[in-house]
Every structure is written in C-alpha cells, then in structure tokens.
Amino acid sequence: MKKVILAACLAMFMSGCAQQSFVMSDSNSEMKEENSQHFFINGLAQEKEINAADVCGGIENVSRVEVQETFLNGVLRTVTFGIYTPRDARVYCKA
C-alpha cells in the first residue's frame, strides 16, 4: 500500500503545468477575458475558440493570448484519469 501511495505522489509531483503564450505586441497590456475551457478524454478531437479581436475591439488591440494548464487543472485531470481535462484561457489587450 505504501508503494502505491508513494508512486501516486511521485507521479503527481513529476507532472508539470503547461502554458502556451502567443505575443502579438510587447506593449503594456491588461487582461480582458479569462475563462475555463472544459475538455474530455484529454481533449481528443476537441477544440475551443476565443475570438481575441472581438474581445479587444479589433485585431490591432490584441497584445497576447495564453492557454494554461494549472496545477489544479492537472490534479483534476489526474483524479479523473484524463476523462476531464480543463484548461484556462486568457486574452490580453493593449492598455
């Protein structure tokens, strides 16, 4: 039993967070929208879209777009054995 608990803890600590950032402009920016995206079965054949131009009022106002799997998202993915895999998405607009 101790080996199973040790292996589970080791696997949890070895799994990391992931973040993808798409930088369109290095100017000062502020976060305009943040939402949680819900995927199932590790996001197999699924996609979510956010129109950053609509959020910022034009493509010229978009500064950065990020998608991140946080520690809590990783815990949820691990607990459900990959059935539920949430990710956080953020849109930053020029200030």
Q: What is the DSSP letter of 44?
A: T
Contact 56, 93 (CB under 8 A): yes
Mean pLDDT of 39-65: 88
Q: Above pLDDT 70, what percent of the chain?
A: 95
Q: What is the mean pLDDT of the chain?
A: 85
Q: How far apart are CA 30 and CA 7, in angstroms?
A: 41
Mean pLDDT of 15-22: 77
How do residues 27-40 score in pLDDT, each as one tens digit? 788 888 888 888 88
Contact 28, 68 (CB under 8 A): no
What's the distance, CA 45 to chain centroid?
Answer: 17
How do residues 58-73 score in pLDDT, each as one tens digit? 889 899 999 988 888 8
Q: What pLDDT sits at residue 66?
A: 92
Mean pLDDT of 17-36: 83
